């Protein structure tokens, strides 16, 4: 039976969404094609009608996740320091620590991206640089934008490595406090 173009696109979108959530939660390398397809109720063989390889899927996940992050953080809008601070409050929250599959791809998939081929790394670099440039315009400081971006990602990585929720919360709240002060003082 032939499927419509829209059905194929819907299946591809569902595969991207499900695969991104699994990759962020379990690591992209740890999930096989059969597991990715099983998560959306299809056989492993159907995968290749959507992507030429698992690497092609990973590239599409990186593109999707980082473009969504950029959109959420207000690229293209005239962003205020207050809006940036609100974004940081949401980003540096225990909900973001606990809901890995729903959060930013950088803290959860950064190591996978670093080990990916050069094309994926260049793609990630382009999105990260766009985010940093947006923040730099808002903050009127290139270096502060890099520092905040790095601190946000690092704080989530450290918090997720820890077991004790109270210590996790201290990492997140301390990072937010210092970054918030940096934004308002600047």
Residue-wise pLDDT for 7-59, tens only, equals: 778 888 888 888 888 889 888 888 788 887 788 877 777 778 888 888 888 89
* Reported confidence tier of residue 96, pLDDT bands at 50, 70, 90: very high
User: Residue 1: is its pLDDT beyond 60?
Assistant: no
Band of pLDDT at residue 2, cut at 50, 70 and 90: low
The confidence score (pLDDT) of residue 33 equals 80
| Confidence class for position 68, pLDDT limits 50, 70, 90 | confident
Which whole number is the average pLDDT over 91-107?
94
Q: How far, in Å, CA of 94 to CA of 166, rounded? A: 10
CATH of the domain at 172: 1.10.357.10
Q: What is the mean pLDDT of residues 98-115?
A: 93
pLDDT value at residue 169:
98
pLDDT of residue 72: 77
| CA-derived radius of gyration, the chain | 18
The total domain count for the chain is: 1
Question: Average pLDDT in the 105-130 region?
Answer: 93
Mean pLDDT of 86-114: 93
- pTM (2 d.p.): 0.84
* For residue 186, pLDDT beyond 90: no
* pLDDT at residue 77, rounded to an integer: 57
Q: Token pair for residue 65?
A: 């996740």
Instruction: Tell me the residue range of the domain where 14 lies.
Output: 5-185
Q: What is the 3-state secondary structure (H, E, C) of the chain?
A: CCCCHHHHHHHHHHHHHHHHHHHHHHCHHHCCHHHHHHCCCCCHHHHHHCCCCHHHHHHHHHHHHHHHHHHHCCCCCCCCHHHHHHHHHHHCCHHHHHCHHHCCHHHHHHHHHHHCCHHHHHHHHHHHHHHHHHHHHHHCCHHHHHHHHHHHHHHHHHHHHCCCHHHHHHHHHHHHHHHHHHHHHC
């Amino acid at each position: 039976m032939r499927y419509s173009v829209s059905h194929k696109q819907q299946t591809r979108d569902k595969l991207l969404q499900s695969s991104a959530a699994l990759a962020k939660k379990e690591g992209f390398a740890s999930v096989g094609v059969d597991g990715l397809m099983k998560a959306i109720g299809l056989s492993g063989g159907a995968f290749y009608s959507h992507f030429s390889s698992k690497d092609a899927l990973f590239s599409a996940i990186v593109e999707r996740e980082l473009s969504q992050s950029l959109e959420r953080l207000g690229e293209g809008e005239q962003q205020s320091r207050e809006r940036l601070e609100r974004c940081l409050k949401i980003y540096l929250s225990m909900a973001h620590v606990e809901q890995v599959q729903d959060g930013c791809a950088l803290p959860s998939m950064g190591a996978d991206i670093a080990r990916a081929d050069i094309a994926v790394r260049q793609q990630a670099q382009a999105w990260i640089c766009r985010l940093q440039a947006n923040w730099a315009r808002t903050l009127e400081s290139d270096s502060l934008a890099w520092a905040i971006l790095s601190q946000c990602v690092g704080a989530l990585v450290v918090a997720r490595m820890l077991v004790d929720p109270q210590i996790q919360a201290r990492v997140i709240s301390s990072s937010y406090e210092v970054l918030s002060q940096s934004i308002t003082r600047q």
